[in-house]
C-alpha cells in the first residue's frame, strides 16, 4: 500500500530513526505483496502467450488432452478459435491419459435432445457456451414397430471459450503490473525515493536502497 504523503513529511521533520522499525515492517510487507503480484503477473503472462499460440494453431490443427480416471473422462482442447473443456461420466473401466491431434472444425453448440433428463443449465454469451446436465434414464417406444426401448444419458459438462477472451483475461495482470511499475518509477524519480519501495533516499550515497537493497540508477557505491 502506498504510504500517505503526510508520513513522508513527518519523517523529514522528525528524522528517519524515530520511524525506522515501523517503516521497515511496512516496507517488508509491501515488498512481499509486490513480489507475489509480480509472480502472479509472470504466470498470467505465460498463460496468455500459451493461449495466443494455441489460437494461431487452432485453424491448422485441433489438439486435445484427455484423462480418464475410471469413471469420468475430462478433456481440454483447442480448435477453430475456441478452447473447450468437456467432462462426462462413462462406464467404469481402466483409467488413462491421452493426447491427440486431428483436423480442426468449428465447435457446435449442443442442443438438448427431446426428452433428455437432467439438463440443469445451458447458455451462451459472447462466444462462451456452457451445457450442464446430470443425465438420467428413460424409456420410450419406437415409431416404426412400437417396440419399447430404454436409453441412458450420462452426466456431462461442456464449456467453450473463445481464445481472444481467454488471452484478454490472462493479460489483465501483466498490464496492471506494467502500468503500476511505470507509475511508481515516475513518482520515485520526481520525489527522490527508491523506485522499488518508495524509501526516502535523501543523503544516501551508497548506491543501494537501505530498505530493500535495490541498486539505484545513476549512483555508485563508494
Q: Which pLDDT score is estimated for 188?
A: 61
> What residue spans define the domains of the chain?
61-168
How distant, in Å, are the alpha carbons of 24, 37, 111 from that of 4?
15, 21, 57
C-alpha grid cell for residue 197? Answer: 519501495
H helices of the chain, where? 5-14, 20-57, 163-191
How far, in Å, CA of 152 to CA of 155, rounded? 10
On the CB side of 207, CA atoms within 13 Å amount to 5
Residue 7 confidence (pLDDT): 42
Q: What are the per-10-residue average pLDDT scores of the chain (222 residues)?
A: 43 42 57 90 98 97 94 95 94 86 90 78 92 86 79 90 97 95 74 74 82 71 43
Q: Give dist(CA 80, CA 75) in Å, integer.
A: 16
**pLDDT, position 24:** 52
pLDDT for the residue numbered 149: 79
Report the pLDDT value the prediction gives residue 220, as an integer from 0 to 100.
46
Find where cell 494455441 sits: 54
Burial group, residue 72, by CB count within 10 angstroms (0-12, 13-18, 19+): middle
The predicted structure's pLDDT at residue 79: 96
Amino acid at each position: 500500500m502506498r504510504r500517505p504523503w503526510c508520513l513522508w513529511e513527518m519523517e523529514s521533520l522528525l528524522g528517519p530513526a524515530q520511524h525506522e522499525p515501523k517503516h521497515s515492517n511496512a516496507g517488508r510487507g509491501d515488498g512481499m505483496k509486490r513480489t507475489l503480484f509480480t509472480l502472479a503477473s509472470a504466470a498470467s503472462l505465460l498463460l496468455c502467450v500459451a493461449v495466443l499460440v494455441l489460437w494461431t494453431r487452432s485453424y491448422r490443427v485441433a489438439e486435445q488432452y484427455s484423462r480418464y480416471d475410471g469413471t469420468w473422462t475430462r478433456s481440454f482442447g483447442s480448435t477453430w478459435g475456441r478452447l473447450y473443456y468437456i467432462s462426462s461420466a462413462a462406464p467404469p473401466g481402466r483409467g488413462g491419459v491421452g493426447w491427440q491431434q486431428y483436423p480442426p472444425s468449428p465447435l457446435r453448440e449442443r442442443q438438448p435432445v427431446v426428452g433428455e433428463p437432467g439438463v440443469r443449465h445451458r447458455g451462451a454469451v459472447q462466444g462462451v457456451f456452457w451445457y450442464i446436465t446430470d443425465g438420467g434414464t428413460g424409456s420410450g417406444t419406437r415409431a416404426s414397430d412400437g417396440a419399447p426401448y430404454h436409453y441412458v444419458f450420462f452426466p456431462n459438462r461442456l464449456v467453450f471459450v473463445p481464445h481472444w477472451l481467454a488471452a484478454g483475461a490472462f493479460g489483465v495482470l501483466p498490464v496492471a503490473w506494467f502500468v503500476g511499475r511505470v507509475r511508481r518509477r515516475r513518482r520515485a524519480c520526481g520525489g527522490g525515493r527508491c523506485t522499488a519501495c518508495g524509501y526516502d533516499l535523501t543523503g544516501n550515497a551508497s548506491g543501494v536502497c537501505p530498505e530493500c537493497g535495490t541498486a539505484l540508477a545513476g549512483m555508485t557505491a563508494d
